[in-house]
Each structure stands twice: as structure tokens, then as C-alpha cells.
Amino acid sequence: MQSVSATIPFVDLLAQHQPLQDQIEQAIRDVMQRGDYVLGQALREFEQAFAAVCRSHHGIGVACGTDAIALGLQACGIGKGDEVILPANTFIATLIGVLRSGATPVLVDCEAKTALIDLAAAEKAITPKTRAIVPVHLYGQMVSPSLLLNLAHTYDLMIFEDAAQAHLAEREGYRAGSIGVAAAFSFYPAKNLGALGDGGMVITHDESVAQKLRSLRNYGAPRKYFHTDQGTNSRLDTIQAAVLNVKLPYLAGWNRDRVYIADQYNTLLKPLHAHGILPIQNQCGKGHAYHLYVIRVVTENRDGLPVCALDREALQAQFAQQAIQTGIHYPLPCHLQPAFQELGYRAGDFPIAETLCQEILSLPMYPGLSDLQIHRIVDVLEASLIVQSALKISA
């Protein structure tokens, strides 16, 4: 294979923003003319609009997705002495948010085919101190609402969704963020709906939770210079909200583009299943938001799965040689991160999460990725496997 000069980026934000540049610049100028940079008009408009498209009542903008989890849990009454169940297979912000709320995180394993939280394992982890479960709608795919609601009803648990990667995702008639008491979203630039910097939001049906959160994000002050909570400064900037207001009407269309791209990947990758290349299973159908498109590179002979001739690192190197950017989400599960060893978990505690972290590889995924680029990505993958198989036979 000869290298090519045209890079296929992992995410192409320039292609997304260029058609909207005039609208975005005008929205920023409007904020500058009003001068309402903090808790301004554009923020209030975006909070209402985003909550509405998520089929919820209240949106409260905060500084980032991590704050959305931490402050959201606090606003729901979760804190010291409470146990909160979450998956070991998630971005570290989920764990940090639970810890910052004051609660005790209880990690559980995930499902091999979907990478989502294993609700059977979650049920076994419930104790008298368990107050809440944080299902992570990972990669843009929702955890089953019916199973979540059944678990929560049976054990009197609060559901607080981590929907940071699942903007407008749907499953079983529910939209991400509308299942539980509240949900956290991130507007990190690379998200399906991304700001031009950091940003986050909590959405909720509960008026009291919304009021509490508005206080917590603003120094614990429900009104100026009157502090009823030990809050913090975590407010979604009005300029960022103005940008997000411009982009929100395009989100559903962008998500449809992502589903189309995933469908192309799925079709082209089918012949490679027999070679140990297995896409993370979609159980949401068209409701998958496909923030990421993730494959498994299976390198060990187990459970009757085919084995790949190349390991993940070798495949990444082949992609890099061909100017195709890839990612790993995530290379080390939460319980094995050095910063959180005091939680007491050890290697082997969550074998599926640990195995997936060694297998997963994220391929380019963004609105505007062309059919030609998708074919090129799969061609590089296929050619790499053919070359490696031939080398093994000749050896």
C-alpha cells in the first residue's frame, strides 16, 4: 500500500462550521451588542430550546459535562453516604462527577457486544446505601429505558443519565435525557452538538432540581448576594450558548448523516467479521446518535469469536501510514486509572471492560464524511488484514 496525501481526520469541525460562519459571527456580535456575557438572553433561549428537543422541561447550562454530572447529582440530593452505581467502561468524567458530588462510586462491568453498562451486574451491586444509578449512553447509544426503569422501580433508585455522547439519541420511545430525574450533557467541541469551547447542561423534569441547580452553578445564590448553598462558579457562557443556538436546528440532520455513515461502515465491514473485526452492536436502530463509530479488533480466541491477524496497534499504524486518523475510547477503564486506586479496585474486577479496552478502535465519524472516504477507510483495513494473513501463511 502506498501512502496518500489527503488526510481523513477523525473529526472535521471546519467542514461543519464553514457553512454556518456568518450565522455564528452574527450571534456572537448580538451578544457583544447586548453585553450580557454571563447568564444572558442567548443562554436562557438555548436552555429552553435544548430541554424541549430532549423532551424535558428545564435546562440549566453549566461550564462543562463534568460539572453537569457533579452539580446535577448534588441538585438531586445525592451526596455523602450515598452509593451511586456507574460503569467502569466510561470516560473518566463520569467517575469524577460522582466523586465530586460527595457520593461513593460503585463500579460495575459492561456488556461485550454493546459496551454499555451491564444492568444485571448493576443489580447485584445494589446495597442498602445505593441511591442512584448513572447509565452512560456510550458512543451515542442509549441504555435500555425499559430495563433501567424496571430496575429503578424495583429497588427505589434514582436514574441520573450521562448523556454526554447521546444528543437526540432515542430508544424505546424515549429520548436521551428524558428517562430519569435528570441528565448531564456535554458540549465539548467534538460532540454531536459542540460549542467553540467547553460547555455542559443538566436537563430535568423536576422544578425543584432545576432551581437548586441554578443556585449551585452560581455561587449557591438563588438571587444576587444571597447564598443558600455552598455552590460554585459553573455557568455556560452566553457566547457559547449563542453559538449552540445557531447549531441546534441542524443537529437532527447531522445525526441522520451519522446514521447513514454508520450504515455504510456496517455494510462494508460485514465481510471482515470473519477476520475478527466486529463493530460495537447497535441496539437502538436509527435512534443511535453515533457520536463515535467503534469496532472491536478481536485478537484472542475466546467465546467462538474469529481472531484478527493484526492487533489494534498494528492496524492504527497502518491507518496512520495512509493518513487516516483513528482513536481509542477508552484505552484504560476507570478502575485501573492511577488516580483512583484508593477506590480499592484491581485488575480482573471487571473483565469485559478490561478486554474491550484492549480491543476497541474508533474510526472517523462526522457529518460530511464522504462515501469515497468511507470506502478508503475500509479498503485500508481490509488490505492490512490481507497482507498480514499472507505474511503468516508464507512464514
- Residues carrying an active site annotation: 191
- State the alpha helices, DSSP H only, in the chain: 13-17, 21-34, 41-53, 65-75, 92-100, 119-124, 145-155, 207-216, 238-247, 251-269, 312-321, 351-359, 371-394
CB 116 within 8 A of CB 141: yes
* Cross-strand partners of 294: 362
Q: What whole-number distance in Å separates Cα of residue 190 and Cα of residue 131?
A: 32
CB 109 within 8 A of CB 352: yes
CB atoms within 10 A of CB 156: 9
Backbone φ/ψ region at 80: left (φ over 0), alpha (ψ -120 to 50), beta: beta
CB 201 within 8 A of CB 68: yes
Q: What whole-number distance in Å separates Cα of residue 185 and Cα of residue 366?
A: 19
Classify residue 285 as exposed, middle or buried by CB count within 10 Å of its CB (0-12, 13-18, 19+).
Answer: exposed
- State the alpha helices, DSSP H only, in 287-336: 312-321
Q: SS3 for 183?
A: strand
| Long-range pairs of 381-387 with CB within 8 A, sequence gap ≥ 24 | 381/269, 381/272, 381/277, 381/315, 381/318, 381/319, 382/271, 382/272, 383/1, 384/1, 384/310, 384/314, 384/315, 384/318, 385/272, 385/275, 385/277, 385/308, 385/309, 385/310, 387/1
CB atoms within 10 A of CB 226: 9
DSSP state of 293: E
